[in-house]
Amino acid sequence: MRTSSLVLAGSLLTLLAAACGSESSGPPMSGAQLFENNCSMCHMRDGSGSNLAPTLHGKKQFWTRETLARYLVDPHGYVAKDPRLKAQGAKYSLPMPSYKMLARGDLEKLADHVLAMP
Protein backbone atom coordinates (compact mmCIF):
# COMPACT_ATOMS: atom_id res chain seq x y z
CA MET A 1 0.00 0.00 0.00
CA ARG A 2 2.78 2.44 0.93
CA THR A 3 4.61 1.83 -2.35
CA SER A 4 1.53 2.50 -4.46
CA SER A 5 0.83 5.66 -2.45
CA LEU A 6 4.40 6.85 -3.02
CA VAL A 7 4.16 6.14 -6.74
CA LEU A 8 0.87 8.05 -6.94
CA ALA A 9 2.30 10.95 -4.90
CA GLY A 10 5.39 11.02 -7.11
CA SER A 11 3.23 11.06 -10.22
CA LEU A 12 1.15 13.92 -8.84
CA LEU A 13 4.29 15.88 -7.98
CA THR A 14 5.65 15.33 -11.46
CA LEU A 15 2.41 16.64 -12.96
CA LEU A 16 2.47 19.62 -10.61
CA ALA A 17 6.09 20.31 -11.47
CA ALA A 18 5.29 20.11 -15.18
CA ALA A 19 2.44 22.56 -14.76
CA CYS A 20 4.53 24.99 -12.73
CA GLY A 21 7.68 24.69 -14.76
CA SER A 22 6.29 24.62 -18.25
CA GLU A 23 7.62 27.12 -20.70
CA SER A 24 5.68 30.32 -21.08
CA SER A 25 5.72 33.18 -23.55
CA GLY A 26 6.69 35.66 -20.82
CA PRO A 27 10.15 36.98 -20.04
CA PRO A 28 12.82 34.49 -18.98
CA MET A 29 12.74 33.55 -15.30
CA SER A 30 15.62 34.03 -12.90
CA GLY A 31 16.99 31.15 -10.85
CA ALA A 32 15.12 32.51 -7.82
CA GLN A 33 11.83 32.59 -9.76
CA LEU A 34 12.39 29.06 -11.05
CA PHE A 35 13.08 27.92 -7.50
CA GLU A 36 9.96 29.63 -6.19
CA ASN A 37 7.79 28.04 -8.91
CA ASN A 38 9.29 24.55 -8.81
CA CYS A 39 10.99 23.84 -5.50
CA SER A 40 9.75 26.04 -2.66
CA MET A 41 6.61 24.03 -1.91
CA CYS A 42 8.75 21.16 -0.55
CA HIS A 43 12.15 22.75 0.13
CA MET A 44 10.68 26.03 1.50
CA ARG A 45 11.28 29.50 0.04
CA ASP A 46 14.65 29.88 1.74
CA GLY A 47 15.76 26.31 0.93
CA SER A 48 15.80 25.33 4.61
CA GLY A 49 13.82 22.12 3.97
CA SER A 50 10.67 20.69 5.51
CA ASN A 51 9.07 17.38 6.40
CA LEU A 52 8.70 16.82 2.64
CA ALA A 53 12.24 17.57 1.46
CA PRO A 54 15.74 18.18 2.80
CA THR A 55 17.53 21.47 3.23
CA LEU A 56 19.33 22.73 0.17
CA HIS A 57 21.80 24.75 2.21
CA GLY A 58 25.39 23.63 1.81
CA LYS A 59 24.81 21.59 -1.34
CA LYS A 60 27.78 23.23 -3.05
CA GLN A 61 30.06 20.75 -1.30
CA PHE A 62 28.35 17.86 -3.14
CA TRP A 63 27.39 19.31 -6.52
CA THR A 64 28.59 21.36 -9.46
CA ARG A 65 26.26 23.29 -11.72
CA GLU A 66 26.48 20.56 -14.34
CA THR A 67 25.91 17.61 -12.00
CA LEU A 68 22.99 19.30 -10.25
CA ALA A 69 21.36 20.17 -13.58
CA ARG A 70 21.71 16.52 -14.67
CA TYR A 71 20.31 15.35 -11.33
CA LEU A 72 17.24 17.56 -11.77
CA VAL A 73 16.48 15.79 -15.05
CA ASP A 74 16.89 12.26 -13.60
CA PRO A 75 16.81 12.29 -9.78
CA HIS A 76 15.74 8.64 -9.57
CA GLY A 77 18.73 7.55 -11.66
CA TYR A 78 21.11 9.47 -9.40
CA VAL A 79 19.54 8.15 -6.20
CA ALA A 80 19.85 4.56 -7.42
CA LYS A 81 23.63 5.02 -7.82
CA ASP A 82 24.42 7.18 -4.77
CA PRO A 83 24.19 5.77 -1.22
CA ARG A 84 24.21 9.29 0.28
CA LEU A 85 21.19 10.33 -1.77
CA LYS A 86 19.45 7.03 -1.13
CA ALA A 87 19.84 7.46 2.65
CA GLN A 88 18.71 11.08 2.46
CA GLY A 89 15.66 10.18 0.34
CA ALA A 90 14.60 7.46 2.77
CA LYS A 91 13.85 10.15 5.35
CA TYR A 92 11.10 11.72 3.23
CA SER A 93 7.76 10.33 2.08
CA LEU A 94 7.75 11.87 -1.40
CA PRO A 95 10.33 11.18 -4.10
CA MET A 96 12.08 14.03 -5.86
CA PRO A 97 10.28 14.69 -9.17
CA SER A 98 12.08 15.09 -12.48
CA TYR A 99 12.40 18.55 -14.00
CA LYS A 100 13.18 17.31 -17.50
CA MET A 101 10.53 19.67 -18.85
CA LEU A 102 12.75 22.67 -18.06
CA ALA A 103 15.10 23.99 -20.72
CA ARG A 104 18.83 23.42 -20.17
CA GLY A 105 19.38 27.12 -19.46
CA ASP A 106 16.64 27.11 -16.83
CA LEU A 107 18.11 24.01 -15.19
CA GLU A 108 21.47 25.79 -14.99
CA LYS A 109 19.90 28.94 -13.50
CA LEU A 110 18.05 26.80 -10.97
CA ALA A 111 21.25 24.91 -10.10
CA ASP A 112 23.15 28.20 -9.69
CA HIS A 113 20.46 29.47 -7.33
CA VAL A 114 20.59 26.34 -5.18
CA LEU A 115 24.39 26.29 -5.11
CA ALA A 116 24.46 29.93 -4.01
CA MET A 117 22.52 29.07 -0.83
CA PRO A 118 24.62 29.21 2.34
Q: Domain residue spans in the chain?
A: 2-21+29-115
**Coarse DSSP helix, strand, coil percentages of the chain, rounded to the nearest 5 percent:** 60, 0, 40
Summarize pLDDT for 13-55 with one digit per residue, the tens.
Answer: 544 444 444 445 678 999 999 999 999 999 999 999 999 999 9
Selecting from 1.10.3470, 1.10.760, 1.10.260, 3.30.70, what CATH number does the domain 2-21+29-115 have?
1.10.760
CB 56 within 8 A of CB 116: no
Summarize pLDDT for 45-93 with one digit per residue, the tens.
Answer: 999 999 999 999 999 999 999 999 999 999 999 999 999 999 999 999 8
